[in-house]
Amino acid sequence: MISTIIWNIRGVKSRGAFERLKFLSKIHNTQIIAIQEPLVDACHIDKYRKGLSFEGCSSNCNGKFWILWSNDFHIDVAEDNEQQLTLKVTNTSNTEIVWFTVVYAKSKQHLRLPLSDSLRNCNNFIDERWCICGDFNAIMSPDEKKGVWWMLVTKASNSHGVMLGKESKKYGKGWTERSDHTPTIVKYSTSGHSKIRYFKFLNFWIDQPNFKDVVQKAWNEGVGGNSMRRLHLKMKNVSHKRSLWSREHIGNVFHKVKEREAKMLDLETDCIKNDNDDLRPQIHKTQAEHTRWLKCEQSILRQRANIRWLEDGDSNTKYFHVIISEKIKRATIHKIQLENGQWITGDDQIAKEAVDYFGKLFSDDQEIELHHLDCIDQRVHRDDNNMLEAIPNKAEIKEDVFGLNPNSTLGPDGFGGALYQSYWDIIKSDLIDVIQ
């Protein structure tokens, strides 16, 4: 996923503009920033790059717009003129390529004709995914000045906004409209298909009102089969009921935090400007809500990062984000080498080769000879072996369950130790039946 900010900033030195840009870059984890009308000489671009902690920067030939990027990508300039700058963006971790064009068009139609010609020229040599964005400095009708709406891609040469192309069944094609002086956040995936999201139990749900009732109701639903199947179906019921409950009562925790932050800032500003003490109760209420959602956010990040040595007072959201980002990078397979030495990339091809390899590995029809084991001396005494083979009693099972780290890595079903410990009185009978 590439996160990009496009903004006709009308002066990067204007009051609060650069601070706002830094804030947006931080909260959206931006890798590329495109700025139109910086109104600062291009020789100073490196100072702003350092201020944003970015790796590289470039401006077009007349300095009307700047591009800044992080160290996640290698950038090559493919086309540079007064109205557009086209870049070849290569992901340094997996060598995937996307093309990125930022536009700052002339205000008169006849002066925009060279822009259309240069974009057509780029279309001739670009075969990968291509994002075109910027200020096209034109409108089709007065209605376009109002709000945000969608329009056909055939209007692309005479409007302003963001175009995602090229046209294909796999990636699609579209056009979206934004005010040209408002920051626009564009996020587009470097992968051809959406990522599958599996169920994961979040520990902060345990502290939410009525969540125990959700688990109890899901567990009490009648299911058939042997003990293992009954436990599996009941856990599946819990995950389904949890999804419905979470969408209705929780929503997106990260959005809730940002909403409360913005609301609190507005209330405090209004209170100071108008000297209105009547707003104090609302401010206190919003602060309490913000603190509540902030704790939920930190719980989610702590669980994802799986950091066990931090104390409660040491919570650091930025640190958690860094740990999570590094874990995702390490866990992602970008390419593999076949037995013949050939390297392949792409999720579909990697998955196919992995299935073929392990399918052959575990489908060997040769009979395994076990008589070689007779050469190994016996090291485990009969009494010890009987103890190891004995079926654990209820007390031993409970002791092991409560010995689990509640923040440990979740199992394949998406559940961790926190669920079993918190709702032991509900699930213990079925769990003990499976183990015994």
Residue 421 corresponds to which tokens in the numbers above? 């410990």
d(CA 56, CA 89): 12
Residue 318 has pLDDT above 80, yes or no: no
Q: What global pTM score does this model have? A: 0.51
Contact yes or no for 136/160 (Cβ under 8 A): yes
Q: List Cβ neighbours of 70 (8 Å cut-off, separation of 6 or more).
A: 30, 31, 32, 54, 55
Q: Which two tokens stand for residue 385?
A: 């072996």
Q: Mean pLDDT over residues 97-103, rounded?
A: 87
Closest to 183 measured CA to CA, from 3, 2, 1? 3
How many CB atoms sit inside 10 A of residue 265's CB?
Answer: 11
Over residues 249-262, the mean pLDDT reads 85
Average pLDDT estimate for 294-305: 80
How confident is the model over 357-375, as a mean pLDDT? Answer: 75
Categorize the per-residue pLDDT at 169 as very low, low, confident or very high, splitting at 50, 70 and 90.
very low
Instruction: Judge whether residue 367 has pLDDT over 50.
Output: yes
For the domain 2-188, what is the CATH code? Answer: 3.60.10.10
Which has more pLDDT, 124 or 309?
Answer: 124
Terminal Cα-to-Cα distance of the chain (whole angstroms)? 46
Share of the chain residues as helix, strand and coil, in percent rounded to the nearest 5: 50, 15, 35
pLDDT at site 86: 92
Contact 81, 119 (CB under 8 A): no
Read off the tokens for 402: 């409560």
Burial class (CB in 10 A: 0-12, 13-18, 19+), 134: buried
Task: Give the C-alpha separation, 133 to 119, whole Å.
Answer: 12
Q: In which residue are the tokens 């499976």 written?
A: 434
| More confident call, 327 vs 414 | 414
Q: What is the dihedral of CA 398, 403, 408, 412, to 10 degrees?
A: -30
**Cβ atoms of residues 83 and 114 within 8 Å:** yes
CB atoms within 10 A of CB 426: 19
Q: Residue 210: CA atoms inside 13 Å, Cβ hemisphere, count?
A: 7
Task: Burial-class residue 287 by CB neighbours within 10 Å (0-12, 13-18, 19+).
Answer: middle
Whether residue 145 has pLDDT greater than 80? no
Mean pLDDT is lowest, of 180-184, 293-297, 335-339, 379-383, for 180-184
Mean pLDDT, the chain, integer: 78
pLDDT at 160 over 50: no
pLDDT of residue 168: 32
Residue 391 has pLDDT above 70, yes or no: yes
Task: Over range 116-137, report the average pLDDT.
Answer: 85
- Of 129, 128, 105, 127, whose CA–CA distance to 117 is shortest? 105
**Taking Cα atoms as reference points, which of 74, 67, 15 lies closest to residue 36?**
67
User: What number of other Cβ atoms are within 10 A of residue 1's Cβ?
Assistant: 10
Query: Can you tell me the mean pLDDT for 277-304?
Result: 82
How many residues appear in the chain? 436
What is the spatial distance between Cα 271 and Cα 289, in angstroms, rounded to a whole number? 19
Residue 146 has pLDDT above 60, yes or no: no
Q: How far apart are CA 325 and CA 322, in angstroms?
A: 5
% of the chain surpassing 70 pLDDT: 80
* Confidence band, pLDDT 50/70/90 cuts, at residue 68: very high
Torsion of CA 179, 182, 185, 186, to 10 degrees: 30
**Residue spans of beta strands (DSSP E) within 178-243:** 184-188
Distance of alpha carbon 436 from alpha carbon 395, whole angstroms: 12
Q: Name the residue with tokens 């409970």.
A: 398
